[in-house]
């Protein structure tokens, strides 16, 4: 090839179907994931136009957002949610799309099951009507969230009209210290660049600290790329990736595997390739992070003090902090450590995989959660649930006093009745702390599974390193 | 696309899509009927009564078609329900210094114009509304300008393809479908090891 390219450019170039001056590129999509919330209007659009789904074999649906996480043998009580779930099943049947619905052994959060089933593979373009599609970038895929109009476009044509994003290198070198996790890397990045910092860009996470992460930890990092404003975040595939994909149900096998591996090894960013922007983070300096405010960029090391609004000169920035602290019932300049917590939520497409449950269980084993705290543990998929059962994790959670539930998005988005009451505080392993995100009037502190488990034990915001 | 309207000031940075329309309203299978749910938790109290201090509830702002918002409007989720709710309420444009990527794309597909104003002009618009809440500005997509009452102009960028689609009423899906031959030939030359669910 002529000039050195980033992995982002390589994937882009490999998927351009057509280019025309003055118009966006037509980009081919290798995997389209569908869920019940953002697809019904798109299927209706197909019906209105009399169109088919072009590639049902590259499309997969599951239910995750609006389904209950209670006993699955019971019907959905919420009639509106029940209708939405039934509509997805009808749509999948009518259009010939495989659907891992509520009772499927493969059901789970869409961003958990894609990688888990080996559907998400390096070098692919992956889309879903969900902004956390960025998760799949951990495998070296170009994966991003789309709106419902675009869902309709991909269903009908397997293509999207797209403009090329800018490239943004996030270099993380060094070694994470005990108690500091992948979640803390991404929360630290967003705290530094802000929730709009990556707008217009795709992140590539690089550096020794990224290489040292497991596949599931990489998913946690890429998952929250959108919280930094970037539609996608990627990590170049390496032996960790290949070992993860190998042997999964939809992964290539035999000669197809060898051919795929040869292609995947060409994907990493070339030496000398240039990024539009770069930022460096020193992993050795990171501490457990926690958010205090009403967007994911409002994060601090757990031992730090809350910002003082009066320190900010820009009036709108100052107002944001004032408004956030007021909503959260917090006072600038005070520490967050020791702040009472009502609910702990361990789950979501950010942190509901088996390693996340293991991490929380390692701290909870043989201990009791604080009786004032309601602790919910929600595995990301049926497969995670099976693996957790095989390892005896549900018993550890239940013995500690946690509520261990069925797989789904649950209290990350609070569409299904799993929610905070007005004024309640949660420490949550999810990805968004927007006002009301976990229930109207609810107040969310985002953190890692370890930090969440620590709060479950003590009933207050805690530096997990004091419990290790 | 050419219209004249007052500006509803919402001087808040990073307005996320969970504020524009809370997630619990996304259980609908329709695109319609979302106007009441726009900014629901800011607009209504726990009993569902309008909060008089929220700007969209104030009679003087009824009928305004432009929302003047803080930086990075529309961050968060990919829900297209956000521009659906904004347009059904009556907005035809949002002016900010920046927009989240997915929200911007979704807006352009629903004839909601995301107008990026330079910080100085953005601040001047807030000052204008503060001085004269009845001040009207004209938005003209063809010339990509916002014209102030004193004749001053703010030029704004728009993706030329989106502009073409909005002005000519081009259907994007129809446009993609015209590339059928290119799509079929791309599929034919894919590596065989690309896996499918089939």
Do A139 and A255 belong to one domain?
yes
User: A450 near A312, Cβ under 8 Å?
Assistant: no
A27: left (phi over 0), alpha (psi -120 to 50) or beta: beta
Residue from the list A60, A131, A251 with its beta carbon closest to the beta carbon of B77: A131
Domain membership flag for residue A158: yes
Q: Please state which architecture CATH assigns to domain B2-157.
A: Alpha-Beta Barrel (3.20)
**Does A433 lie in the same domain as A332?**
yes
SS3 A223: helix
**Contact: B14, A297; criterion CB under 8 Å:** yes
Tokens representing B148?
């102030």
Judged against a pLDDT cut of 70, whether residue A134 lies above it is answered with yes
Strands (E), A163-308: 166-173, 201-206, 232-234, 277-282, 289-291, 299-301
A44 Cβ under 8 Å from any chain B Cβ: yes
Give the gap in angstroms from C-alpha A263 to the nearest C-alpha of chain B: 9
Q: How many angstroms separate the CA of residue B75 from the nearest CA in chain A?
A: 7
| Contact indicator for A149, B80 with CB cutoff of 8 Å | yes
Tens of pLDDT, residue by residue over B27-82, are: 999 999 999 999 999 999 999 999 999 999 999 999 999 999 999 999 999 999 99
Task: Specify the CATH number for the domain of residue A393.
Answer: 3.30.499.10
Across the range A117-126, mean pLDDT stands at 97
Phi, psi of A392 (to 5 degrees): 75, 20
Distance from C-alpha of A94 to C-alpha of A142, rounded to nearest angstrom: 29
Q: Indicate the pairing of strand B66-69 with strand A299-301.
A: unpaired
Residue B197 in this model has a pLDDT that exceeds 90: no
Residue A354 pLDDT exceeds 70: yes
Orientation angle between helical segments B160-168 and B101-108, nearest 10 degrees: 30
Distances (CA, A) of A184 to A190, A289, B122, B127: 10, 5, 35, 40
Nearest to A295 among B14, B110, B192 (CB): B14
- Parent domain of A179: 166-238+269-285
pLDDT tens digit sequence for B158-193? 999 999 999 999 999 999 999 999 999 999 998 665
Taking Cα atoms as reference points, which of A82, B58, A228, A190 lies closest to residue B39?
B58
> Lowest-confidence range among A136-150, A284-298, A391-405, B181-195?
B181-195
Q: pLDDT value at position B174? A: 96
A183-A188-A194-A200 Cα dihedral, nearest 10 degrees: -60
Write out chain B residues lying below 8 Å of A80, CB-based: 27-28
Q: What is the CA radius of gyration of chain A?
A: 21
Helix %, strand %, coil % of chain B (to 5): 40, 20, 40
How much is the average pLDDT of B97-121? 98
- Render pLDDT for A14-64 as a digit per residue (tens, 0 to 9): 999 999 888 999 999 999 999 999 999 999 999 999 999 999 999 999 999
Any residues with CB less than 8 A from the CB of A93 and at least 6 apart, and which? A99
Rounded Cα distance, A339 and A330, in Å: 9
At A225-258, the pLDDT tens digits run: 999 999 999 999 999 999 999 999 999 999 999 9
At B115 the pLDDT is 98
pLDDT value at position A314? 87
pLDDT over threshold 80, residue B196:
no
Does any CB of chain B come closer than 8 Å to the CB of residue A120? no
**pLDDT tens across A175-190, in order?**
999 999 999 999 999 9
Q: Dihedral sign, CA of A266, A267, A269, A273?
A: positive
Domain identity same for A21 and A152: yes
Q: How many CB pairs under 8 A join A and B?
A: 207
**Average predicted confidence (pLDDT) for chain B:** 96
**CB–CB contact A148 B80 (8 Å):** yes
> Residue B192: its pLDDT value, please?
60
A12 shares its domain with A90: yes
Provide the CB-side half-sphere exposure for A5 (13 A, CA): 12
In contact, B4 and B92? CB cutoff 8 Å: no
* Residues A123 and A13: beta-carbon distance below 8 Å: no
C-alpha Rg value of chain B to the nearest Å: 19
- List of residues 6+ apart from A113 with CB closer than 8 A: A62, A100, A106, A107, A119, A380, A381, A383
A120, closest residue in chain B (CA to CA) = B195
Provide the domain count of chain A: 3
**Is residue A47 located within the same domain as residue A120?**
yes
| Closest B-chain CA to A158 | B183
The reported pTM is: 0.97
Between residues A228 and A315, which one has the greater pLDDT?
A: A228
Percent of chain A with pLDDT strictly greater than 90: 97
Q: Do residues A361 and A435 both lie within one domain? A: yes
At residue A315 the predicted structure's pLDDT band, cuts being 50, 70 and 90, is: confident
The answer to whether A453 and A428 have CB atoms below 8 angstroms apart is no
Kindly determine whether residue A415 and residue B102, on different chains, have CB atoms separated by under 8 Å.
no
Would you say residue A1 lies in a domain? no
3-state SS assignment for residue B170: coil
B23: chain A residues, CB-CB within 8 Å: 413-415, 437
Q: What is the pLDDT of residue B194?
A: 64
One domain for residues A176 and A218: yes
With contact defined as beta carbons under 8 Å apart, do A250 and A118 qualify? yes
| Position B195 pLDDT exceeds 70 | no
**Nearest-Cα residue of chain A relative to residue B72:** A196
Q: Which of A57, A226, A414 sits opposite B24 (nearest CB)?
A: A414
User: Is the same domain home to A142 and A178?
Assistant: no
C-beta separation of A324 from A293 below 8 A:
yes
Does the beta carbon of A446 lie under 8 angstroms from any beta carbon of chain B? no
- Whether chain B has a CB inside 8 Å of the CB on A309: the answer is no
Residue numbers of A between 180 and 209 with CB closer than 8 Å to B: 194-196, 199-200
């Amino acid at each position: 090839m002529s000039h050195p390219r980033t992995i982002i450019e390589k994937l882009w170039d490999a998927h351009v179907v057509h280019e025309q001056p003055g118009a966006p590129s037509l980009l081919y999509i290798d995997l389209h994931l569908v869920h019940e919330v953002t697809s019904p209007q798109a299927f209706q659009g197909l019906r209105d136009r009399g169109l088919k789904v072009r590639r049902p074999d590259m499309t997969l649906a599951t239910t995750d957002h609006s389904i209950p996480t209670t006993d699955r043998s019971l019907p959905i009580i919420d009639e509106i949610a029940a209708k939405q779930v039934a509509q997805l099943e009808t749509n999948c049947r009518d259009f010939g799309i495989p659907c891992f619905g509520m009772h499927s052994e493969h059901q789970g959060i869409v961003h958990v099951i894609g990688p888990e089933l080996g559907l998400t593979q390096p070098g692919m373009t992956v889309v879903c009507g969900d902004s956390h599609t960025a998760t799949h970038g951990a495998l070296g895929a170009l994966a991003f969230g789309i709106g419902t109009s675009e869902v309709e476009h991909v269903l009908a044509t397997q293509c999207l009209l797209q403009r090329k994003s800018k490239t943004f290198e996030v270099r993380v070198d060094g070694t994470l210290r005990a108690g500091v996790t992948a979640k803390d890397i991404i929360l630290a990045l967003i705290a530094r660049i802000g929730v709009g910092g990556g707008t217009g860009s795709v992140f590539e996470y690089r550096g020794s600290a990224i290489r040292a992460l497991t596949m599931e930890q990489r998913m946690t990092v890429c998952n929250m790329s959108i919280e930094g404003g970037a539609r996608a975040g990627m990590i170049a595939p390496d032996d960790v990736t290949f070992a993860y994909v190998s042997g999964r149900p939809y992964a290539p096998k035999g000669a197809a595997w060898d051919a795929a591996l040869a292609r995947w090894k060409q994907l990493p960013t070339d030496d000398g390739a240039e990024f539009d922007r770069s930022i460096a983070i020193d992993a050795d300096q990171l501490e457990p992070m926690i958010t205090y405010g009403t967007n994911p960029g409002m994060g601090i090391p757990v031992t730090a003090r809350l910002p003082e609004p009066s320190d900010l000169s820009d009036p709108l920035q100052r107002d944001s902090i004032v408004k956030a602290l007021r909503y959260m019932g917090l006072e600038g300049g005070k520490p967050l450590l020791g702040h009472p917590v009502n609910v702990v939520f361990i789950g979501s497409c950010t942190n509901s995989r088996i390693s996340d449950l293991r991490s929380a269980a390692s701290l909870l084993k043989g201990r009791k959660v604080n009786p004032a705290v309601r602790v919910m543990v929600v595995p990301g998929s049926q497969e995670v649930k099976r693996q957790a059962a095989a390892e005896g994790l549900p018993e550890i959670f239940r013995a500690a006093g946690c509520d261990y539930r069925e797989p789904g998005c649950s209290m990350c988005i609070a569409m299904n009745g799993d929610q905070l009451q007005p004024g309640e505080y949660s420490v949550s392993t999810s990805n968004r702390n927007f006002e009301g995100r976990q229930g109207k009037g609810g107040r969310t502190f985002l953190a890692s599974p370890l930090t969440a488990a620590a709060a479950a034990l003590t009933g207050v915001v805690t530096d997990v390193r004091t419990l290790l | 696309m050419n219209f004249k309207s007052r500006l509803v000031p919402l001087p808040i940075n990073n307005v996320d899509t969970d504020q524009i329309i809370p997630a619990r309203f996304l259980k609908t299978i329709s695109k319609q009927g979302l106007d009441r749910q726009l900014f629901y938790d800011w607009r209504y109290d726990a009993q569902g009564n309008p909060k008089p201090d929220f700007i969209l509830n104030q009679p003087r702002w009824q009928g305004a078609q432009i929302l003047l918002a803080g930086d990075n409007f529309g961050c968060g989720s990919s829900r297209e329900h956000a521009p659906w709710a904004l347009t059904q309420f009556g907005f035809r444009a949002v002016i900010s210094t920046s927009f989240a990527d997915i929200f911007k794309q979704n807006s352009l597909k629903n004839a909601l114009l995301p107008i990026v104003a330079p910080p100085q002009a953005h601040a001047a618009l807030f000052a204008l509304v503060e001085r004269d809440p009845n001040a009207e500005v004209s938005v003209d997509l063809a010339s990509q300008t916002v014209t102030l009452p004193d004749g001053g102009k703010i030029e704004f960028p728009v993706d030329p393809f989106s502009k073409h689609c909005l002005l000519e009423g081009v259907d994007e899906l129809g446009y993609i479908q015209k590339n059928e031959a290119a799509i079929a030939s791309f599929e034919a030359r894919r590596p065989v090891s690309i896996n499918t669910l089939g």
